[in-house]
């Protein structure tokens, strides 16, 4: 049995409210009752606020505001009574989350009788899954280069996060870049590359500025090391 009675909370809030606010509290409570019938329990202010607007009630922003404290109290109490919180649940349905992150963690929730404790544990599990997914994204999208040089202003080492070059080029794109600075192409067109990366034609005219060849070589080298 829940330690929180949403209907009693509603009654207490209505006792100190005017007639207009009483109607709004009843409207919010009705929306919460409607949400409770759904498979995925979502009592977030964003969702309830969206439903409220469609029903002619206050917006999510109004519920967030200072004057919306009673509405937030009612939503919080209702969510707690149903073993969850006002936080929006993961985008994935609970069943899919079980498959992706292990059913044991979520099966544990059904064995907790205390709704407050169940809500707290559920929140911890969802936040862990969120952080785990964010970590996977960071690992796939970036690599970390540690610059240990001492700066004059702070005399502290800095850490620079650079975008990953892994998988940046398709095989045909890599081949095109390699061909653009190859000795074979240079000889065929009568071009000459200099140590500083500048490219000149057979008449000594500058075709590409200093750094052209060396920049492409560096990009190819970095992306190649990331793909390994």
pLDDT score recorded for residue 160 = 47
- In whole angstroms, what is the distance from residue 68 CA to residue 77 CA? 14
Quote helix, strand, coil % in the chain, to nearest 5: 60, 10, 30
User: pLDDT band for position 208 (50/70/90)?
Assistant: confident
**Predicted confidence (pLDDT) at residue 202 exceeds the cutoff of 90:** no
- In whole angstroms, what is the distance from residue 72 CA to residue 69 CA? 5
User: pLDDT band for position 93 (50/70/90)?
Assistant: very low
Residue 139, Cβ density class (10 Å: 0-12 exposed, 13-18 middle, ≥19 buried): exposed
**Predicted confidence (pLDDT) at residue 102 exceeds the cutoff of 60:** no
Maximum pairwise Cα distance, the chain: 94
Neighbours of 136 (CB within 10 A): 10
Convert the pLDDT of each residue in 10-69 to its tens digit.
Answer: 999 999 999 999 999 999 999 999 988 887 888 999 999 999 998 889 999 999 999 999
- In whole angstroms, what is the distance from residue 30 CA to residue 56 CA? 13
Convert the pLDDT of each residue in 166-187 to its tens digit.
Answer: 555 677 777 878 888 888 888 8
- In whole angstroms, what is the distance from residue 97 CA to residue 111 CA? 18
Q: Residue 182: left (phi > 0), alpha (psi -120 to 50), or beta?
A: beta
Q: Which two tokens stand for residue 217?
A: 């070589």
Average per-residue pLDDT for the chain = 76
pTM over 0.75: no
Whether 164 contacts 144, CB under 8 Å: no
**Predicted confidence (pLDDT) at residue 97 exceeds the cutoff of 50:** no
- In whole angstroms, what is the distance from residue 6 CA to residue 170 CA? 58
Residue 101 phi, psi dihedral angles, 5° rounding: -115, 5
Whether 104 contacts 51, CB under 8 Å: no
Convert the pLDDT of each residue in 106-153 to its tens digit.
Answer: 566 666 766 666 666 767 777 777 777 667 656 655 555 555 565 555
- Give alpha helix (H) positions in the chain: 6-15, 19-36, 45-54, 60-64, 69-81, 94-101, 103-110, 115-141, 171-180, 183-189, 212-227
């Amino acid at each position: 049995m829940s330690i929180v009675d949403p209907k009693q909370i509603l009654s207490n809030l209505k006792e100190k409210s005017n007639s207009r606010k009483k109607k709004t509290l009843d409207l919010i409570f009705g929306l919460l009752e409607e949400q409770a019938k759904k498979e995925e329990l979502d009592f977030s202010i964003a969702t309830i606020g969206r439903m409220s607007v469609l029903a002619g009630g206050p917006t999510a922003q109004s519920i967030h505001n200072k004057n919306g404290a009673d509405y937030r109290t009612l939503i919080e109490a209702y969510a707690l009574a149903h073993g969850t919180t006002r936080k929006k649940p993961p985008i994935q349905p609970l069943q899919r989350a079980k498959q992706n992150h292990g059913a044991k963690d979520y099966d544990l929730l059904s064995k907790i009788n205390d709704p407050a404790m169940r809500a707290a544990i559920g929140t911890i599990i969802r936040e862990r899954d969120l952080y785990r997914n964010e970590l996977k994204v960071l690992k796939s999208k970036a690599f970390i280069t540690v610059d240990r040089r001492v700066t004059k202003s702070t005399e502290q080492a800095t850490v620079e996060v650079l975008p990953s070059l892994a998988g940046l080029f398709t095989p045909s794109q890599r081949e095109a870049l390699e061909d653009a600075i190859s000795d074979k192409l240079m000889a065929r067109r009568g071009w000459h590359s200099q140590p500083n990366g500048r490219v000149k034609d057979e008449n000594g005219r500058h075709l590409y500025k200093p750094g052209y060849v060396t920049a492409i070589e560096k990009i190819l080298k970095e992306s190649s090391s990331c793909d390994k």
